[in-house]
Structure 1
Amino acid sequence: MASDNTSWKTTVIISSSSQCDEASRLLLAQQHRIRRSDSILDSSFVFPLSGTAFLLVTPEEFPAKLENVEPFERMERFVQIHRNSFLLLQAPVYGKKEWEIISLVQNRFLGCNLKVIPVHSTAEVVNGMLIIAKATSKPTVENFRDQMSGLYSHRRS
């Protein structure tokens, strides 16, 4: 996921939960504008310019028996609120439990707008969010659309 996100600056709405503190520091270090909010779900990040939202979860949030519905209820609320949503499962190492969680989440939300992304570190969390948010932000999408239109019209002539 190597990308230059340092020249692109945006506003990020971050939940007030402590799980977001390290990612918040990394975003601030890159000079993004941070707005803390108690009104969004815990451990979530919203990029208003791109219309994307990210929910950060760890394997520890899931009980030993994965049938517990509490984490899934939180994900369902998240998907209902955010149209373009991503679940970031953060674990330093992916073992059997982590892959079971990913599989369970993907099966449970099959056909939904929730995309699951495995990440290892907070740096990967921030980098992944910025890549997706930049690629889907309105100025970037409009610029890409204009370039494609220009290529298409040039090709037809």
Structure 2
Amino acid sequence: MATRAERTPQWTTTVIISTSLWQHEASRMLSAQRHRVRFSDSVQSGAFIFPLSGTAFLLLEPGDVPGRVEESGLTEKIKTFVQVHRNSFLILYAPFNGTKELEMLSEIQHRFLGSNLRILPVRNNAEIVKGMLTIAMATSKPHADLIHDRLSLARADIIESSPVWEMLRDISDSVDFD
């Protein structure tokens, strides 16, 4: 008997990747999974863009940032990324959660609190790819519609079978509004 993974065709999409990442393991993993990978010089350095879902990811490795976030020019790079991409994610690649990584995460969160930037901390390349693909698939048109439909059905089922809603219906039926 086939498992669910064997019956479900693998989801594939187009990914535009900064040429600065053409040697990165995450790029190779996306290609190996048969996604249509395109490299571009016009994309911000360190970026992965999923055009069909409208999401963009900026890969940040704490080892590449000398000193504090504000002093390194990283804030301006992230600010530009957030302004260009409305559905933006910062992938903070930190294989070991040391004090430098935690301080950097805290500074970035504090600086971009209230913006549309979401931060995704990851520990390895497999988590980078899995996180990006999960978010991109959930926000792509056919999958987003399917998720919305399932949530609507779940909500309707909860309302139908909830004892609280049943009690409220009974109360409203027994109250005379005239």
TM-score (norm 2): 0.78
Aligned residues: 153
Which of 122, 125, 131 matches 2:125? 122
Moved more, 41-50 or 145-154: 145-154
CA contact (8 A) 2:61 2:94 kept: yes
CA contact (8 A) 2:15 2:51 kept: yes
- Aligned partner of 1:98 in structure 2 is 101
Cα distance in structure 1, aligned partners of 2:93 and 2:156: 44
2:87 is aligned with 1:74: no
Moved more, 138-147 or 61-70: 61-70
Cα distance in structure 2, aligned partners of 1:146 and 1:67: 43
Cα distance in structure 1, aligned partners of 2:116 and 2:53: 15
Structure 2: runs of 5 or more not aligned: 161-178
Moved more, 54-63 or 105-114: 54-63
- Aligned partner of 2:112 in structure 1 is 109
CA contact (8 A) 2:53 2:140 kept: yes
RMSD of equivalent CA atoms: 2.1
Q: CA deviation at 1:104?
A: 0.2
Which of 16, 20, 30 matches 1:27? 30
TM-score (norm 1): 0.88
- Aligned partner of 1:17 in structure 2 is 20
Q: Which structure has more RCO (C-alpha within 8 Å, separation ≥ 6)?
A: 1
Cα distance in structure 1, aligned partners of 2:32 and 2:131: 16
Which of 43, 47, 50 matches 2:46? 43
Cα distance in structure 1, aligned partners of 2:13 and 2:147: 18
CA contact (8 A) 1:59 1:90 kept: yes
Q: Secondary structure at the match of 2:24?
A: helix
